[in-house]
Structure 1
Amino acid sequence: MAAGAEPGTQRPGGRTARVRAAVLRAAGDMLAELGFDQLDLAEVARRADVGKTTVYRRWGTPAGLVADLLSDMAEQSVPRTETGTLDGDLLANADLVRRTLSDPRQGPLFRAVIAAAGTDDRAAEALHHFYAVRVAEWAPCVRQAVGRGELPEGTDAEEVVRQVSAPLYYRLLTTGAPLDEASAVRAARAAAAAARAGAFTG
């Protein structure tokens, strides 16, 4: 591995990529099962069937491992859906968020990372980067709606996308209530109505 190279950037499909995939899979499983506080690099190495020295050398700390895990998740996330209407696009985004947070593995994993971000700067930075990537992926749907005349000029596309997922995260973290289809529909409709009313301009 070249000096200064990021984990997994050398020899795509080779041993480096396989090691990274195995380690990130094990780290994600542990986060979902045990939370960030119990993310032990030695145990990750054991689960991934990788040498401890390799894991410590490449990732260094649990926060470094979480940062790489989130980068990998951002790269592999489902691309946006374009339906041709603002309502359809925002509903597609809300439903994707709902399904992700309701997933038996992904839901606990995100809760663990969000909890870690409250106390660890590197985990927080990784989480912020993950959402920046995802928001940027969906923002063109809002800009296209502006171009079609569905929304006022000057609408902040990124903020509209954030407003779609915000109620779903709030419900997940504060009530523990299931994220059903109705909750996704409400989130999408509320964001669309606010955007049409000009709440995200200026």
Structure 2
Amino acid sequence: MSDGEGLAGSARPGGRTARTRDAVRRATLGELADKGFDGLTVEAVAARSGVHKTTVYRRWRNAAGLAADALDLAADEPWPVPDTGTIRGDLRAITELVRTGFADPDQGPTARALVSAAVHDPTTAAALRGFLIGRLAQAEPVVERAVERGELPVGTNPGEVLRSAVAPVYYRLFITREPVDAAHALRAADAAVSAARAGVFVIDGA
């Protein structure tokens, strides 16, 4: 994915550029948590990060660039993919991880702000899409292991199983704006398992 600013290849690990990018990212996430995307400004991020405003404008340009780059950096971070020994246990752990992530009092507001920003801004939408695709790719081994164990049919598409599991959680959170409790997350996972076992996600070339 791209943040539209050409930053993905510019940071050198341990260098000043990397430190600047990390400081700006932390400030961006802090501003998103406090004010949401609508309140995110280059000036506030510059003040919060201690990076000169001119530098922030030159490298990130605007709020969309700041939010997208924060997602770019997050996409490279490892995700705690479960390995419970069963596909039901793994998918239940994943849907619960999604649910609790958005409910977390510290991380939840930032995550919700980024999703809301993606609805209105194409730059952030592209970055969020890349972030989510990366998360799905990291989680695909839970389905691959289930196929190897004989829990799911050969040819089951891992990405489609995972999308089916988490989609109801996102739907309630961001479309209908309904509460999501642990029972909702478990049912979403169980429905995906049932469909997968029935061969719904067996796709040629998977």
1:110-154 CA-to-partner distances (Å, cap 9, x unmatched) read 222222222221111001000000000011211221122111122
Shift of 1:76: 2.0
On the 8 A contact 1:7/1:58 being kept in 2, the answer is no
Q: TM-score, normalized by length of structure 2? A: 0.87
Q: TM-score, normalized by length of structure 1? A: 0.88
Q: Distance in 1 between matches of 2:93 and 2:144?
A: 16
- State the SS of the aligned residue for 2:76: helix
1:49 — aligned with what?
Answer: 50
Q: Distance in 2 between matches of 1:6 and 1:193?
A: 40
Match for residue 11 of structure 2 among 9, 12, 25 = 9
Q: Distance in 2 between matches of 1:21 and 1:5?
A: 12
On the 8 A contact 1:29/1:105 being kept in 2, the answer is no
On the 8 A contact 2:11/2:21 being kept in 1, the answer is no
Instruction: Out of 112-121 and 42-51, give the one that drifted further.
Output: 112-121
Q: Does 1:74 find its partner at 2:75?
A: yes
- State the SS of the aligned residue for 2:132: helix
Report how many residues are paired: 197
On the 8 A contact 2:79/2:135 being kept in 1, the answer is no
Kindly provide the amino acid, as one letter, of the partner of residue 191 in structure 1: A
Structure 1 residue ranges without an equivalent (≥5): none
Q: Distance in 2 between matches of 1:5 and 1:20?
A: 9
Shift of 1:107: 2.1
Q: 1:25 to 1:5 in 2, by over 3 A?
A: closer
Structure 2 residue ranges without an equivalent (≥5): 1-5
- State the SS of the aligned residue for 1:92: helix
Kindly provide the amino acid, as one letter, of the partner of residue 135 in structure 1: L
Shift of 1:68: 1.1
1:61 — aligned with what?
Answer: 62
Instruction: Out of 122-131 and 80-89, give the one that drifted further.
Output: 80-89
Q: Does 1:187 find its partner at 2:191?
A: no
CA RMSD of the aligned region, Å? 1.9
Shift of 1:194: 1.2
Alignment of 1:152-163 (within 5 A): 152-163=153-164
2:146 — aligned with what?
Answer: 145
Q: 1:75 to 1:38 in 2, by over 3 A?
A: same
- State the SS of the aligned residue for 1:50: coil
